[in-house]
Structure 1
Amino acid sequence: MDILLIAGLWLDGSAWDDVVPELTALGHRPVPLTLPGQGDGNASATLGDQLAAVLAAVDAAPGKPLVVGHSAAATLAWLAADARPGKVAGVVLVGGFPAADGQAYAGHFPVEEGAVPFPGWGPFEGADSADLDQEARDRIASAAVPVPEAVARGVVQLTDERRYDVPVVLVCPEFTPAQAQEWIAAGESPELARAAHLDYVDLDTGHWPMTSRPRDLARVLAEAAGS
């Protein structure tokens, strides 16, 4: 199965470099995406441009692909399910929850000179990054690409309720499945609250499991593809 890999803010397709060979060895075809504005030099890219790139990859797949969204890109994966509910085999959300209709894609980090730069490790101290050594932190930070404002502040538009029938797996790295269930029950993720097929996977690590536990993450993704 084709497994489309969408990294979160500031990351390009190389974020999945350690996951790709593991998925290939497990018999799948991983397709890491470098999004417009996050690695291709297009500083004027919009959220619509990024979604178009994801949908182009969905449409190019020979069958129904599994769409994986990490962190903020959980919303992009969910937007793909909304736009192609009959074409997407399932969605895996890694450490992220999809924004609701009418919300900003990523409105929680400040804009500087038309882009949202990587803010450093301060906002991620604790469970998010405790499993990353200094080498891993330096590697992520050095590869980080400022996200165009028109991406981060783009408004999410969801239109097809058939998305709720697309199977969803929520991978819980820096939080537990029990915490995720509590948040959803409390109304903090109205989209996942309406998902008809939602499974939880506990992956005890930090916010960047493609760096900290790539083999285990690949196994989780392969299992999701198999189901």
Structure 2
Amino acid sequence: MTTTTSSPTIILIAGHWLGAWAWDEVLEHLKTDRSRALAMTLPGLDGDDPDRAAKTLDDQAAAILDVFAGLGVSEDQPATIVAHSGANAPVSLVLDRHPELVHRVVWVDSGPVASGSVFAPDIADELEELPLPSLDVLAQQASLEGLSIEVLERFRSRAVPEPGPVLRQPVELTNDARRAVRTTLVCCSIPSAQVLELARTGHALFAEVANLEHLDVVDLPTGHWPMWSRPRDLANAIQSAASRTN
């Protein structure tokens, strides 16, 4: 039997090029549900930080843990982390280092990474940062389904280049306890049945999913940025996942 808790702490972390602002519409719906929800901007994605291009995955993981500390997250009062897209690398580090602080992780069109993973192993060492590509190129890399011209223009105007060190740093994981953290996959641009099949066959992007001990899947058909294309439905999925205690 599934039981729930009324006011879970939820921390929302968007993927590459995005800050806390990406979750504005989702937060509106979560607050209606009286959730204790907060969106954060990872180090390196604050456009006002003059040193942002030097930030690393370790800096990002440390910042998430700082947010935990500020919210009073503890083993007795763990948080739910919502990680979209490329936020999977720093969140995987947090799960590895402090799994006891996480009640549940919700991967939004994303999933856990395996130890040794590097997001962009082929980029040049001298590349300081990676700007958001043109929308034509972006559409070849991820689905833009459900995004209006206005939303795409906002994306373009507010995107912050991704720091080179974040893209080049290997994710080093050593603690198998991370795999015991309760997990929900919100599958958007790839249906859950396909994700699970890819995991079963050892596909590099999804192989770690096969090692998870407590896994739920939710299908939310849309593009890769459901916080803009289906914010209410995504908020409902997050709220439902965060409220579960098993």
Report the TM-score, using the length of structure 1 for normalisation. 0.94
Code of the aligned partner of 2:108: V
Q: Which structure 2 residues correspond to residues 141-180 of structure 1 after superposition, within 5 A?
A: 141-180=156-195
State the alpha-carbon separation in 2 of the partners of residues 134 and 205 from structure 1: 16
Q: 1:130 aligns with which of 145, 154, 161?
A: 145
1:215 aligns with 2:232: yes
> Structure 1: where are the runs of 5+ without partners?
none
Q: Which structure 2 residues correspond to residues 13-52 of structure 1 after superposition, within 5 A?
A: 13-39=20-46, 40-41=48-49, 42-52=52-62
Q: 1:117 aligns with which of 114, 128, 131?
A: 131
Contact 2:121 2:168 in 1 (8 A): no
Code of the aligned partner of 1:160: N
Bigger CA radius of gyration: 2
Q: Which moved more, 1:33-42 or 1:2-11?
A: 33-42
2:3 equivalent in structure 1: none
Report how many aligned residue pairs link the two structures: 226
Q: Deviations over 1:148-182 (max 9, x none)?
A: 11111111011111111101100001111111111
Q: 2:102 aligns with which of 88, 92, 103?
A: 88
1:67 aligns with 2:49: no
The 3 A distance-change label for structure 1 pair 109 and 28 is: farther
Shift of 1:110: 5.0
Code of the aligned partner of 1:76: P
Percent of residue pairs identical: 39
Code of the aligned partner of 1:73: A
State the alpha-carbon separation in 1 of the partners of residues 198 and 151 from structure 2: 30
Contact 1:51 1:80 in 2 (8 A): yes
Q: Deviations over 1:81-108 (max 9, x none)?
A: 211111110100001122211111x217
Contact 2:57 2:89 in 1 (8 A): no
1:199 equivalent in structure 2: 216
Contact 1:45 1:150 in 2 (8 A): yes
Code of the aligned partner of 2:228: T
1:183 equivalent in structure 2: 198
Shift of 1:9: 0.3
Shift of 1:43: 1.9
Q: 1:97 aligns with which of 108, 111, 129?
A: 111
Report the TM-score, using the length of structure 2 for normalisation. 0.87
Contact 2:19 2:42 in 1 (8 A): yes
Q: Which moved more, 1:193-202 or 1:117-126?
A: 117-126
Contact 2:31 2:37 in 1 (8 A): yes
Shift of 1:218: 0.5
Compute the RMSD of aligned alpha carbons. Answer: 1.7
